[in-house]
Amino acid sequence: MRTTEDADRASESLLRPTTTSSSRVCRWRRVGGGLGALVVLFGAGAALAAAFGARDGDNVAAALAFDKSAPTTTTGDSHVNIRDEWGPGPLHEVHWDAKTGFHYDAHDGSSFEKFEEKLGARMIQSTVMKYYPTRLKSDQPSFSVYYTVEDYPKTKCWKSARTGLAPEGCHTDQWPRVYNFASQPKDASLLPALDQVTLITIAEPLVDMLEHEGEDAKLEPPNWPKQQVFGMNGENATAWENLIPKIAWQGTDYRFYGPEFDGFKEDSCHHPNDCVLNQIWQRAGGGHGKANYTLAMRETLARNDITPRLRLVLNSLLDNSWIDAKFFCVARYDSRFPLRVKLGKELRVEADRKMTGDDLAKYRYHIDLGGAGGTTWTGTIHKMSLPGVLFHHETAMRDSYFDSIKPWVHYIPVAEDLRDLRQKFDWAQANPQKCKQISAAASAWVKAFNTRRALLRHNYNTLAVNLAKTIDPSKKHLVPFEKAHPSAMLGRMRQRILNGLRRAARARAAAQ
């Protein structure tokens, strides 16, 4: 499910351009996370590739062979069925057997896609090695773990799940478990074989913790590669009374939901012949006359086929007294589609520059508008860390940490189509003390979640425990969390001892 929201998953987003688009000006696959203002979870290109290069002491990366020819057998017919039936998105697989160890069935794709696929594979392997060591003994049977890392699980069988029909090729009741590192419907009954596990955008620091955990590391904050969480990177906090009383948003012009779901909406200029922005431009007479321009935007807002992101941006253009929202694409525009570039500038829907963390932190209100997966992945977390309060976009989709954040406690909920946004804004303006409480609770949640132990426990509860359904149905092998990760108090005691030994060693060396 792309910042400032996709640049915010990019508006919220952690933006990443894909190589599969033929017509979008700014087409992204979400890496996740709050944006320019707040977050950049992963670096691009070479940096991503380097992250998956072999590292000294990297036992998991060294053990996991990313090999298209890796064995993929599993028990029964379910393997053949799910491979044939899944589509159209890729379904990934990690296989283990006692003779050859772990194998990953690599897919063709961009460097960004390969990064997430491999990261998901490493998450599975490092989690199994940490919490199921006896399951990897030489006398144990082989297993295969299926998983997905796309915006949402892209299977053709969503429609049959929604309608109750069972067309040929969608025997979902016979599927093995599929572990989803991304967004998925809140209604778990739509695809019972799906288990939502640790969100892929928080996987990189987790892999590092699982692979290199030591007593020193346990006491340090997580290492989020190239990521910023407000208040931890030098931004200047602002008193509530001095915050700009507007809703701030900046992010990519991205579609809402996938075509498999009800409520799917294309972005504002999907194709030269299917471009809402061009329709506004033409209706306004090619930019001549403010009255026509305003009327065209109001007519567009009356439609039910535009994305929430476009709806917010148009409302901001019509009345910026309470909303400051624009699109922003952090990649170079697609030269094959200059129309979107022109319209973005002429209609003033595109920002001239990316908002920084300090820029966004000056606003009293924020919103995390969902993209293709219906959420903003970790973009929600980053906006919760700001001094202002979050209007959380309530959609039919969810991410792995959503059960731990609550409406009116950590955020103010707003409807999927934003029909109640003005009402909620007016309420917030009239209730500053309650908003301060919500903002403080949200920031406290982020601070607590953004610790090694909290992230490890989150991964244990979502991924490690659920993996038992596939690799340990009898639950004989799973190591308890507290045994795998001794308490912080014990860690501090050991750290003090280590520090004392180091000081003594330095003193001896200095005396010699």
Q: What b/e sequence results for 177-216 when a residue is b if at least 16 CB atoms lie within 10 Å of its CB, and e otherwise?
A: bbbbbbbbbeeeebbebbbbbbbbbbbbbbbbbbbbbeee
Which residue did the predictor score with more confidence, 492 or 477?
A: 477
The more confidently predicted of residues 396 and 356 is 396
Give residue for tokens 């966004």: 360
At residue 4 the predicted structure's pLDDT band, cuts being 50, 70 and 90, is very low
CA Rg value for the chain: 24
CA angle 119, 125, 131 (to 5 degrees): 130
Label residue 79 by pLDDT band (50, 70, 90). Answer: very low
**The pLDDT of residue 434 is above 60:** yes
What mean pLDDT value characterizes the chain? 80
Query: For the segment 409-432, what is each residue's pLDDT rounded down to a tens digit?
Result: 999 999 999 999 999 999 999 999
pLDDT for residue 80 is more than 70:
no
Instruction: Give which of 264, 445, 441, 244 is closest to 370, Cα–Cα.
Output: 264
Residue 54 pLDDT level (bands cut at 50, 70, 90): very low
pLDDT digits (tens, 9 = 90+) for 175-203: 999 999 999 999 998 899 999 999 998 89
354 in Cβ contact with 7 (< 8 Å):
yes
Instruction: Tell me how far apart the alpha carbons of residues 5 and 26 are, in angstroms, rounded to a whole number.
Output: 14
Query: How large is the average pLDDT for residues 107-112?
Result: 67
On the question of a cis peptide bond just before residue 338, with omega within 30 degrees of 0, the verdict is no
Rounded Cα–Cα distance for residues 249 and 241 (Å): 20
